[in-house]
Amino acid sequence: MISRRLLSKSLGTRAFVSTPRSLFLQNIFGSKDSKTKDLIEKQDEYAVDPNSKILVLNEKNSPSHKPFDPETDIPGFQITQWKEKVVRPQDIEASVTKEMVADAINKAFEESHGSAISAEQYSSTTLGDLQKRFAFTKLVQQKLGFDIKDHTISRSHDVGYLYNSLQKQITHRWSSERNPNAIVLRPEDFEEQPNVYLNTEHSEQEQEKIFEDLKKQALAN
C-alpha cells in the first residue's frame, strides 16, 4: 500500500487543455467564410462571356512576328552552284569516262598542292594533310560534277585509292533504295531468258510517258 501511494504521488496527474485557435490573422482582411458564402449564393449571377478565351501566342498569331523576307532580311544573298557542271547520279555511268577522272584529279591536285602529278604517281602520293585532302577532293568533285562519298574521302590516304574508288563509282550501274524509279534494265541482263524481251526502241522520255499513260489506265480501271 505504501509503495502504491508513493508511486501515485510521484507520477501525479497531467491535464490536457485545448484552446481555440485565434482567427485574428485569418480575418484581418475580411471573413473567408462570408466570401465563400457569397460566392455560393450568387454563383448564378456571375456572367461568363462565351467569346472570352486565353489566347496562346505562337509564330503565326503573334503581333510581333515578322514573316521572313529574303530581299529585306538578307539583301544580295545568292546561292551559286559551286560545281562547274552537274552530273546526275543516273547519268554518271554514261557520261563520265576514266580519262575525265584522271584529268580532274591531275588539275585538282595541281591547284590544291601547287605541283603536277601523273597517273604513275597516284599510288605513291599520300594525302596525309587532311586540310589539303579536303580541298583536293572538293576540287575533284567540282570538276567532275558529282559528289564523292564521305567514306571514300576519309579512306583516301593516297591519290591511288581515290582514283580506283572513282573508277568503280563511274562504272557502277545506278541504283537507289529510296527512289522507286532507280531500276536500270539492259538487254544483256536477259540473255539467258529466251522468253523475256526488253524493248529499247523508245527513249527514256518516251518510256516515262508510256509508263504514266499505263499507270493512269490502271488507276482508272
Statement: residue 16 has pLDDT above 80:
no
Q: How far apart are the first and last CA of the chain?
A: 114
* pLDDT given at position 2: 47
Q: Considering only CA atoms, which of 127, 106, 108, 126 is closest in space to residue 117?
A: 106
In order of their start, the domains of the chain are: 89-171 (1.10.1200.10)
Q: In this structure, is the dihedral angle defined by the CA atoms of residues 66, 69, 72 and 74, taken in order, positive or negative?
A: positive
Rounded-to-10 torsion of CA 156, 176, 144, 126: 0
* pLDDT given at position 44: 67
Q: What digits encode the pLDDT tens for the residues 95-140?
A: 999 999 999 999 999 999 999 999 999 999 999 999 999 999 999 9
* Mean pLDDT, the chain, whole residue set: 82
Q: What digits encode the pLDDT tens for the residues 148-205?
A: 999 999 999 999 999 999 999 999 888 877 777 777 777 777 778 878 777 777 777 8
Q: How far is CA 54 from CA 47, 51, 158, in A?
A: 17, 10, 65
Contact predicate 179/90, CB 8 Å: no
